[in-house]
Amino acid sequence: MKRMLSVLMAIAFSAIVFGVPANAQQQGVPPSPIKLGTNGGVVTITPIYHASALIQADGKNIYIDPAKPGDFSGRPKADLILITDIHGDHMDPALISTLSKDGAEVMAPPAVVQTVKQATPISNGETKTWGGWTIEAIPMYNIVRGPAPGQLYHTKGRGNGYVLMFGGKRIYFSGDTENIPEMRALKNIDIAFVCMNLPYTMPPDEAAQAVKAFHPKVVYPYHYKGSDLSVFQKDLEGTGVKVELVDWYANVAH
């Protein structure tokens, strides 16, 4: 009994220290793929690192924000790459090149296209179709946070979040943003990936307020390094939004 109590206390202490509830996926273990059933077949979403993910459906591979130090060794080549912003944890030109199949497409905000020349521009509010996918560019920006007075880490119009629709299901990646009106106004989101880290985006409690407003069926915190995810989870208790926690920092290249 004493040994069991010690183990339980250690788990609880770990949850407090690392800011992750004890029921989160085991830390250091690469997250399992997320499966979403749709009218067009299963969509598989594999968290890779920080803001990077692999999305697979209908035999196609889509990456969002592939960047180091995420481990991309052994990953399939991309048919499509989506980039949200100009910062290095989202835009990695060398990796985009090595990860792309011949003829792969890249879609990105115009600010990214200045560096990633092969990318097709997609601006806030614009919608494109690609195969069986509909890709909608959603604004992502800071309202109050920045490196100095009068400056913002992410200015409105520079970067994109994305709503990806396939087989009648809608998947949202927030990109780097605060609790903006465009996020709160989203509708019918099946799975949301929402950022939370200071000082660059927003804290977990603010992210939870945004999620309460647009009320996805399931939400995954991502881009959360250093954040206390237990705050986010607790703030969404009783709302009907299912919170799923996975370790986005286990897949690191060595």
Residues 137-162: what's their mean pLDDT? 97
pLDDT tops 90 at residue 20: no
CA–CA dist 218, 221 (Å, integer): 10
User: Which is nearest to 219 in space by CA: 156, 170, 152, 166?
Assistant: 170
Count of CB atoms situated within 10 Å of the CB of 128: 13
Average pLDDT, the chain: 90
Asked if residue 47 lies in contact with residue 63, where contact means CB atoms within 8 angstroms, the answer is no
Which percentage of the chain shows pLDDT scores above 70? 89
C-alpha distances in angstroms, 242 versus 51, 208, 236?
Answer: 20, 12, 8
252 secondary structure, DSSP code: B
CA dihedral 229, 234, 145, 198 (to 10 degrees): -20
Fold for 29-243, please state it: Metallo-beta-lactamase; Chain A (3.60.15)
pLDDT in tens, 26-77: 466 778 999 999 999 999 999 999 999 999 999 999 999 999 999 999 999 9
Q: How many Cβ atoms are within 10 Å of 184's Cβ, its own excluded?
A: 14
Report pTM: 0.89
**Span of 17-26, 160-169, 175-184, 217-226 with lowest mean pLDDT:** 17-26
The domain spans of the chain are 29-243
